[in-house]
Amino acid sequence: MFNQESFRLGATGSAIRELFEYGKKRKQEIGEDNVFDFSIGNPSVPSPDIVKNTLIYLLQNTEATKLHGYTSASGDNGVKKAIADYLNQKYDVKIKDSLIYLTCGAAASLTISLKALLNQDEEVIVFAPFFPEYKVFTENALGKLVVVGYDDKFLPDFCDFEKKISNKTKCVIINSPNNPTGVVYSEDIIKKLVSILKKKEDEYQHSIYLISDEPYRELVYGNVTVPFVTKYYDNTIICYSFSKSLSLPGERIGYILVNPNCLHSNEVFKCICGAGRSMGFICAPSIFQYLIPSCLGLTSDLKVYEENRNILYKELTSYGYDVIKPEGAFYLFVKALDEDAVKFSEYAKKYELLLVPSDSFGCGGYLRISYCVSKKQIVNSLPAFKKLIEEYRK
Amino acid sequence: MFNQESFRLGATGSAIRELFEYGKKRKQEIGEDNVFDFSIGNPSVPSPDIVKNTLIYLLQNTEATKLHGYTSASGDNGVKKAIADYLNQKYDVKIKDSLIYLTCGAAASLTISLKALLNQDEEVIVFAPFFPEYKVFTENALGKLVVVGYDDKFLPDFCDFEKKISNKTKCVIINSPNNPTGVVYSEDIIKKLVSILKKKEDEYQHSIYLISDEPYRELVYGNVTVPFVTKYYDNTIICYSFSKSLSLPGERIGYILVNPNCLHSNEVFKCICGAGRSMGFICAPSIFQYLIPSCLGLTSDLKVYEENRNILYKELTSYGYDVIKPEGAFYLFVKALDEDAVKFSEYAKKYELLLVPSDSFGCGGYLRISYCVSKKQIVNSLPAFKKLIEEYRK
């Protein structure tokens, strides 16, 4: 028969995408405005105008065969240089354009990086709660996922981390600002994490790669800053996507960046080229490559997300929900009123609230609310949230 | 260490892309016009105007969050319906939109289809000469490539084919119009191939899937027609790309289509969804999805390629080269003057002629000329071709 693992992955779908599909169907049944779909991280704030203007400019002023033609498999050199220059100036680092690989978004960045590094049965450490597809992507590269626990602030449980690093550990994935909690790792947290990694590299006498999954790097609120990880740890690979910062999730554009200080950085980059090649990722969508130099460092209007966060946090707290205040990304992690988050997510559907249960994120008992939706949806959903807690507590 | 197979694939590169990179470097050294780069299938004819006009229209008239937002993982339903309707009308078939999966181009279509179907060590049959990445894509899905020989017209050696189908054969890949020969399989050839497949399915009592890789479906010359394979064989999966027909290779847009008559077609489609998910292919670039309905059945101006073909075929034959006249695609397969095509390709570089040796296509002794270049390049290259054969024969 056909491949059973592919069948399983296709038949079950991801919990997020299942709920997203349910929401689309439900909206057709009872109307767009009557479904409070908080399932998916599909940005609700339009791309900044420069995206549209640059794309139209490129279409009107670039020879079509160049604009839509193949670039090098790893991307256009000019674009890679622009990215390196931007990062070097902004973060005071020495990124090399020759170690940047343009990809079809964050998912591709991760599958490529993992396939580049992993040998069969090697281990990838992630910190719960984590983006569920990390498991799928790790297994695609024939690796094994190892899950580390969290403390009361949803930060890594470092004791557990130390225990779980083994001779088979090849990579550690971090994701800050975090999906699904909105937590941002401070410089102290990064330093603590890195000190353990270095100790374990010495102990086991081999490299452990830190893969920093950063689609939300620019999405932070207030004075929160996101440390640039290559400054703290040499064997770092950054997986970036423009999906969230520029509200372009459907267009699939991002990059992988190997820290020039990484041991054997050129060889690691070759592995990335080879892994991309083997899965058929050659040349990220070209017009979106050429868009990047005009948009580096820009974001959609983050105030909208911040306002959504503030309303939701304030109101849900006042109704009696137990909520973590997010410092970044556009997710709110709220404690389920039932120990069984899946059951509670089902129950919430009665109020047309689509909330992703936390089980597939590697921790039970919570729900993820993607608040990258219209303010109107936030405001209109509040009575439903109120009713939900009141009814459920009866 | 990192993954050795990824390293090998990244360090060696494909012969085509290596030569393409050499060409880019060489052009910088001695000027664009002085290098006759016939290495890559990067269309030289601009996209039809409707591509630019539709993209600008979409940018100006669609809400950005919708235009650039995630579609369903398998693609936008309206777009899938448009594709199904077009195919059903054009080929008098009954394709279902629910069995179409939009992808990031032909390479993605193939890697996804293979990963959907193959279990470890199952076999994939290809017909030499074949696109070299079939081997890479098959091995990515843990399968084994089995190569079948060709006859004097570069059509399948059917005796060899019968012999090589085994109990482990899971798929057969065909590619017509063919890269690298330009040969098109007639209805008779398809029927012959299918009759063998059916016999072997009966013999081994399991499905053998025919994967039809069709990026060149519309690129045929004169009265040549390309049979629509689902009409002849139930267990067919079509891998299509708009890269070549619409001159959009850099934008990565294509689709996979499962024949509704395929045994367990819905389950096969689920496998495709799962395989796409595992490699991080969710949602093909959205603006290019929305472009498709306006461009179905359209092509760039194929007369340009036909003229290039005619000039090259006539002149190279007159100089004494042994050339197969292509009926489709934009490749000319020419016999190397040395038994060692790699050596001869190196020699041709002296005349700034960049021709891909046939070895990586699974057959020795030939060179592939991609004639999707400007007419000027064709005309200017003729003295070099003439000199090459004259000097080499001395």
CA pair distance B276, A76, nearest whole angstrom: 25
Residues of A with Cβ-Cβ distance to B11 under 8 angstroms: 267, 270, 274
pLDDT at A169: 98
Indicate yes or no: CB of A69 within 8 angstroms of CB of B116.
Answer: no
What 3-state DSSP class applies to B38? coil
Q: Which residue of B has its CA nearest to A21?
A: B72
Task: Kindly state the helix (H) or strand (E) to which residue B380 belongs, with its residue range.
Answer: helix B375-393
Quick check: A40 and B13 CB within 8 A? Answer: no
Least CA distance to A105: which residue of chain B? B280
pLDDT of residue A13: 75
Q: Which of A2, A25, A51 to mutate to probe the B interface, most B CBs <10 Å?
A: A2
pLDDT in tens, A234-256: 999 999 999 999 999 999 999 99
Chain A residues touching residue B137 (CB < 8 angstroms): 278, 280
Question: Residue A369: its pLDDT value, please?
Answer: 97
**Could you read off the pLDDT of A12-41 as tens digits, one per residue?**
877 888 898 899 999 999 999 999 999 988
Smallest CA–CA distance, residue A268 to chain B, in Å, is 7
**Residues of chain B found within 8 Å of residue A274, distances taken between Cβ atoms:** 3, 5-11
For residue B253, the surrounding DSSP H or E stretch is none
Chain A hits for B43, CB-CB cut-off 8 Å, are 65, 69
Nearest-neighbour CA in chain B from A387: distance (Å): 30
Distance of residue B131 Cα from the nearest chain A Cα, in angstroms? 13
Please report the number of interchain residue pairs, chain A to chain B, with beta-carbon separation below 8 angstroms.
Answer: 275
What is the mean predicted confidence (pLDDT) over A350-378? Answer: 95
Binary contact (B278, A136; C-beta < 8 A): yes
- The pLDDT of residue B356: 96
Mean predicted lDDT score pLDDT of chain A:
96
Best of A47, A52, A66, A68 to mutate (most B CBs within 10 Å, chain B): A68
Report CB contact under 8 Å: A56, B60.
yes
Cβ-Cβ contacts under 8 Å, A291 against chain B: none
| Confidence (pLDDT) at B298 | 96
The confidence score (pLDDT) of residue B219 equals 96
Nearest to A2 among B248, B268, B277 (CB): B268
Asked if B44 lies within 8 A of A56 by C-beta distance, the reply is no
Instruction: Judge: A250–B69 Cβ closer than 8 Å, yes or no.
Output: yes
pLDDT at A41 (0 to 100): 85
Q: How far is B155 from B152, CA to CA, in rounded Å?
A: 7
The set of residues, in sequence order, having a beta carbon less than 8 Å from that of B394 and lying 6+ positions away, is none
- The confidence band for A179, taking pLDDT boundaries of 50, 70 and 90, is very high
At residue B98, the 3 state secondary structure works out as helix
How much is the pLDDT for B393?
85
Taking each helix axis from N to C end, the angle separating A49-61 and B49-61, rounded to the nearest 10 degrees, works out to 160
Q: Please tell me the predicted confidence (pLDDT) of residue A14.
A: 79
Contact B105 A280 (CB under 8 A): yes
In this prediction, residue B131 carries a pLDDT of 94
- Residues in B closer than 8 angstroms to A64, CB to CB, are 46-47, 51-52, 247
- List the single residue in A6, A43, A70 with the smallest CB-CB distance to B116: A6
Whether A269 and A80 have beta carbons less than 8 Å apart is answered as: no
Per-residue pLDDT, A42? 87
In chain B the first and final C-alpha atoms are separated, in Å, by 50
CB contact under 8 A, A65 and B141: no
Q: Is the pLDDT of residue B13 over 90?
A: no
With helix as H, strand as E and coil as C, how does chain A read? CCCHHHHHHHHHCCHHHHHHHHHHHHHHHHCHHHCEECCCCCCCCCCCHHHHHHHHHHHHHCCHHHHCCCCCCCCCHHHHHHHHHHHHHHHCCCCCHHHEEEECHHHHHHHHHHHHHCCCCCEEEEECCCCCHHHHHHHHCCCEEEEECECCCCCECHHHHHHHCCCCEEEEEECCCCCCCCCCCCHHHHHHHHHHHHHHHHHHCCCCEEEEECCCCCCECCCCCCCCHHHCCCCEEEEEECCCCCCCHHHCCEEEEECCCCCCHHHHHHHHHHHHHHHCCCCCCHHHHHHHHHHCCCCCCHHHHHHHHHHHHHHHHHHCCCEECCCECCEEEEECCCCCHHHHHHHHHHHCEECEEHHHHCCCCEEEEECCCCHHHHHHHHHHHHHHHHHHHC
pTM: 0.96
CB atoms within 10 A of CB B26: 18
Mean pLDDT for B309-325 is 96
Query: Residue B80's closest CA among B64, B102, B63?
Result: B102
* Minimum distance, in Å, between the CA of residue A107 and any CA atom of chain B: 5
Structure tokens at A147: 């899950």
Q: Given an 8 Å threshold on Cβ–Cβ distance, is B65 in contact with A4?
A: no
Residues of B in contact with A118 (CB under 8 A): 3
CB contact under 8 A, A7 and B270: yes
Cβ contact, residue pair A250, B105, below 8 Å:
no
The rounded distance, in Å, linking the Cα atoms of B116 and A140 is 12
**Among A118-127, B10-19, B229-238, which is the least confidently predicted range?**
B10-19
Environment class of residue A101 by beta-carbon count within 10 Å: exposed (0-12), middle (13-18) or buried (19+)? buried
pLDDT of residue B146: 98
Q: How far is B391 from chain A (nearest CA, A)?
A: 33
* B41 — pLDDT class (breaks 50, 70, 90): confident
Cα nearest neighbour of B24 on chain A: A72
Residue B188 is predicted with a pLDDT of 98
Asked if the Cβ–Cβ distance from B3 to A141 is below 8 Å, we say: yes
Q: How far is B250 from chain A (nearest CA, A)?
A: 4
Is the confidence at residue B176, as pLDDT, over 80?
yes
**E-assigned strands of B233-296?**
236-241, 254-258
pLDDT tens-digit map of B216-244: 999 999 999 999 999 999 999 999 999 99
- Chain A: nearest CA to B82, how far in angstroms? 19
**pLDDT, position A360:** 86
Residues B248 and B299: their CA atoms lie apart, in Å, by 11
Residue in chain B lying closest to A285 (CA): B251
Residue A1 has pLDDT above 90, yes or no: no
Find the residue in B nearest to A267 (Cα): B7
Out of A3, A71, A108, closest to residue B118 by CB: A3
Contacts of B242 in chain A (CB under 8 A): none
Which residues of chain B lie closer than 8 angstroms to A287, CB-CB?
250-251
The mean pLDDT value for A265-279 works out to: 97
CB distance A13–B280 less than 8 Å? no
Q: Do B249 and A42 touch (CB under 8 A)?
A: no
Q: What is the mean pLDDT of residues A129-133?
A: 95
Instruction: Give the closest of A8, A10, A56 to B59, CB-based.
Output: A56
Computed over every residue of chain B, the mean pLDDT equals: 96
Q: What is the ipTM score, two decimals?
A: 0.95
The per-residue pLDDT for range A359-372, each reduced to its tens digit, is: 989 999 999 999 99
Q: Which of B169, B184, B118 is nearest to B327 (CA)?
A: B184
pLDDT tens readout for residues A67-113? 999 998 999 999 999 999 999 999 999 999 999 999 999 999 999 99
- The answer to whether the Cβ–Cβ distance between B250 and A68 falls below 8 Å is yes
CB contact under 8 A, A274 and B119: no
Interchain proximity A21–B274, CB inside 8 Å: no
Contact A248 B278 (CB under 8 A): no
**pLDDT surpasses 90 at A197:** yes
Chain A residues touching residue B68 (CB < 8 angstroms):
47, 51, 247-251
